[in-house]
Amino acid sequence: MFDLTHKTSIITGGGSGIGKAIATIFAKQGSVVHILDLDENSKRVIEEISAAGGKSFFHRCDISQQAEVKTIVEAITGANKSIDILVNNAGIAHVGTLESTSEEDLVRLFNVNVKGMYNCMHEVIPVMKKTGGCILNVASVASHVGIPDRFAYTMTKGAVMGMTLSVAKDYLEYNIRCNSISPARVHTPFVDGFLQKNFAGREKEMFEKLSKTQPIGRMGQPEEIAHLALYMCSDEASFITGCDYLIDGGFVKLNN
Catalytic residues: 153
Of the candidates 91, 136, 247, 240, the one whose C-alpha atom is nearest the C-alpha of residue 182 is 247
**What is the C-alpha separation between 176 and 38, in angstroms, rounded?**
27
The stretches of the chain forming alpha helices (DSSP H) are 17-28, 42-51, 66-80, 103-109, 116-131, 151-170, 189-198, 203-211, 222-233, 251-254
Do the beta carbons of residue 120 and residue 63 sit within 8 Å? yes
Full 3-state SS string of 24-85: HHHHHCCCEEEEEECCCCHHHHHHHHHHCCCEEEEEECCCCCHHHHHHHHHHHHHHHCCCCE
**What is the C-alpha separation between 63 and 43, in angstroms, rounded?**
17
C-alpha angle 181/184/185, rounded to 5°?
Answer: 135
Number of CB atoms found within 10 A of residue 135's CB:
29
Kindly provide the b/e burial profile for residues 67-86, where b requires at least 16 CB atoms within 10 angstroms of the residue's own CB.
ebbeebbeebbeeeeebbbb
**What is the C-alpha separation between 171 and 179, in angstroms, rounded?**
12
